[in-house]
Chains A and B, each alone.
Chain A
Amino acid sequence: IKISLVCASQPPPAQYGGRHTVTLIPGDGIGPELANHVRELFRFCCVPVDFEVVNVDSTMASEDDINNAIMAIRRNGVALKGNLETNHNLPPSYKSRNNLLRTTLDLYANVMHCQSLPGVRTRHRNIDIMIIRENTEGEYSSLEHENVPGVVECLKIITRTKSLRIADYAFRTAREKGRTRVTAVHKANIMKLGDGLFLECCKEVASGYPEITFDSMIVDNTTMQLVSRPQQFDVMVMPNLYGNVVSNVCAGLVGGPGLVPGANYGEDYAVFETGTRNTGKSIANTNTANPTAMLLASCLLLDHLKLHAYANMIRRAILSTVTETRLHTADLGGQGSTSEVVQSIMKAVESTGPRTLSL
């Protein structure tokens, strides 16, 4: 099978006088307020990006809203989104909107880069792990049935094509970023065919990258190692569910869900969001949410659009603000508010000199 992949899709050609149009899906919970802060910051820094806002109502049973959002992303090629809530009380025919979006657009690689931030006090230091998680199959196939009453079968699908694809993505990213080791996380001693196939595909791809060390680790041992010695990991590649768990563990290790951005890449599209995909319902509209993750996600977006200067400028300002302990939000143990943090970031950007709007 000849797989021709492009690591990150080419950004859409900038039109309308050099300005990009990006789809924005506010989502639920803290999504809308954080999306507003992103827009505020971009407008302040004169970033040449216009947002096309598409609202998706997660309480409706019809899939019209999410289909509109998908169409908008096909049109623009890039999106920034908040998490869409999946209400457990709705019937099982109601599929997760986030999952629908990922599978329809074939955003096969979820990339999360967990790094210890200097200003955030955590129990572990010097963590620098890149997690590459298969994003479209595995346990998230949404294929379940109840042939016999009281007995449910959930299908976990692993295919050769997608496993090769995600492994290739992982190794190519590792090479690009100058990483030296890729670890495949699996449970092939139990799921011999499924995870066995995944592992085999990773080994095949690894043979084409001799400069990168490849090893594998069973998921239970991995999570135990992560909580005792996370510094040993470099790049990790894994199927969907293990990716979910491992990325949440790593996010917890570097300081929590408010700090880590995440990116979903496909061949033609890219969607950026917070790494751990939380809705944050309980803290919505209380001005206490940590905007760091969403703002860093928007920097990833700018990098994707090749607007590196803007990305670096905003990222520098965010990192300088996060080292300021008195501005830490509640999730980091502080008492700062979301708006204070955003204001501080804007001030930091202004002080570095480039053209900005008035504060």
Chain B
Amino acid sequence: AQDLQLQLHYCPPPAKYGGRHTVTLIPGDGIGPELLNHVREVFRFSCVPVDFEVVHVNSALETEEDINNAITAIRRNGVALKGNIETKHTMPPSVKSRNNLLRTSLDLYANVMHCQSLPGVQTRHQNIDIMIIRENTEGEYSSLEHENVPGVVESLKIITRNNSLRIAEYAFRLAREKGRRRVTAVHKANIMKLGDGLFLQCCREVASGYPDITFDSMIVDNTTMQLVSKPQQFDVMVMPNLYGNVVSNVCAGLVGGPGLVPGANYGRDYAVFETATRNTGKSIADKNIANPTAMLLAGCMMLDHLKLHDHASSIRNAIFTTMNENRLHTADIGGQGTTSEVVQSVMRIIQSKGQLTAEF
């Protein structure tokens, strides 16, 4: 058995240049650029000691130069904040998804999404508090496909013991850290006996080392059905890549939509933050109607990662106050506010708390 020397959160790079961190910023496509501009605006206003190194990735190009530059920048800085990079269907299959390339090259093996019901957002379900830990590098997203016989395509879903043990370890350690009591593995081992069977087995092995945490498993179809009827029963969920995709989108839908939930991709050495449901939002780009909450909260997660907890809390509180007390909502959660109005409100609240801020 391999000796897994993992640290749950790696130590952030030592702050250089007079106590300021440098973070890679990838604007992406669609609503990415405008939302990230707002993040920069809020950070600048709150005097957050973070400088952004902007790297553009052109998703229309076939060469991988852009994304490789971005990856190099992230290796250099250790942390990144990104918008989603569009994967055009019309390009040839050899053009791999840029987001996927980034995740696999940097080995960002854990995608963590924390779905919580927000008091100010009206949803059909209340009291949801689910942590989804999704394997981020293998599974169905291996991009290994071939067509040996014309008209017959084989897509390979890869499950390995190492990666499964690793993600299960991550899940249990996170659960313990956050004081969570139950971890549920989501799988389809009755059909994919070897693949998901291996995943499940790895989860069980790791679970035996955490007797304080209850471990159970559920088949993915039952899971999604339970999620839409009684989501309050779930605590922490761990699963392979594709089920993670589906389950996290269902949960995001349950707590109010793609505009609210931030997501984080953790690896051993790097961390990349983005919106949880990775939408490009092409249809609402540049219209000042996108919900900036998810991206701003992702920025707060990044600040927590850099151990700038005070700044993270102050911005987060301002966002929640705007959402829950002022009820300033954008169109996706049923309101009529614009992106800039929400951001202005956040900045006003930060200023009203008396901290040092830049000029308004």
Contacts and interface: CB of A to CB of B under 8 A. Distances in A.
Interface of A: 86, 88, 92, 96, 99, 123-124, 139-140, 142, 144-146, 149-161, 187-197, 199, 219-221, 223-228, 241, 244-245, 247-249, 251-253, 256-257, 276, 278
A278 to B, nearest CB: 8
Contacts of B155: 155-158, 191, 193-195
A227 B145 contact: no
A138 B128 CA distance: 33
Interface stretch (B36-44, B60-68, B157-165, B340-348): B157-165
B93 interface: yes
Given A189-B87, A189-B97, A150 B224 contact: no
A159 B193 contact: no
A257 B222 CA distance: 9
B110 to A, nearest CB: 18
> Which 4 A-B pairs rank lowest in CB-CB distance, beginning with the nearest?
A150-B161, A160-B151, A227-B253, A252-B228
15 contacts: A152-B158, A152-B198, A154-B195, A157-B155, A187-B242, A187-B245, A192-B143, A193-B93, A223-B224, A223-B253, A224-B250, A248-B225, A249-B250, A252-B225, A257-B225
- Chain B at the A interface: SS class: mixed
Interface stretch (B184-192, B290-298, B315-323): B184-192
Contacts of B193: 88, 92, 142, 144
Nearest to B244: A220
B140 A156 contact: yes
B160 to A, nearest CB: 5
B249 to A, nearest CB: 4
Contacts of A123: 124-125
B141 interface: yes
Contact of B154 (A92, A157, A188, A257): A157
Contacts of B195: 144, 152-154
Interface in B140-180: 140-141, 143, 145-147, 150-162
A193 B89 CA distance: 11
Given A92-B197, A189-B97, A190-B100, A223 B246 contact: yes
Contacts of A142: 191, 193
B145 to A, nearest CB: 4
Contact of A248 (B93, B197, B224, B249): B224
Given A88-B197, A144-B193, A252 B229 contact: yes
B191 A252 contact: no
Contacts of A248: 221-222, 224-225
A88 B189 contact: yes
Nearest to A251: B225
A56 B24 CA distance: 60
A228 B141 CA distance: 26
A156 B159 CA distance: 13
Nearest to A91: B193
B169 to A, nearest CB: 15
Contacts of A152: 158-160, 194-195, 198
A194 B253 contact: no
Contact of A249 (B89, B146, B153, B228): B228
B252 interface: yes
Interface residues of B, number: 59
Contact of A151 (B161, B188, B242): B161
A191 B161 CA distance: 23
Contacts of B89: 188-189, 192, 196, 199
Contacts of A251: 225
Contacts of A154: 156-159, 192, 194-195
A124 B229 CA distance: 11
B151 A161 contact: yes
Given A151-B161, A156-B154, A190-B100, A252 B189 contact: no
Nearest to A85: B190
B191 A99 contact: yes
B208 interface: no
Nearest to A140: B191
Contacts of A220: 245-246, 248-249, 277
A224 B225 contact: no
Nearest to B229: A252
A244 B189 contact: no
- Chain A CB count within 10 A is highest, among B146, B160, B220, for B160
- Chain B CB count within 10 A is highest, among A124, A139, A142, for A139
- Chain B CB count within 10 A is highest, among A99, A124, A193, A197, for A193
Nearest to B147: A193
Contacts of B152: 157-160
A80 B267 CA distance: 50
Given A190-B97, A219-B246, A256 B229 contact: yes
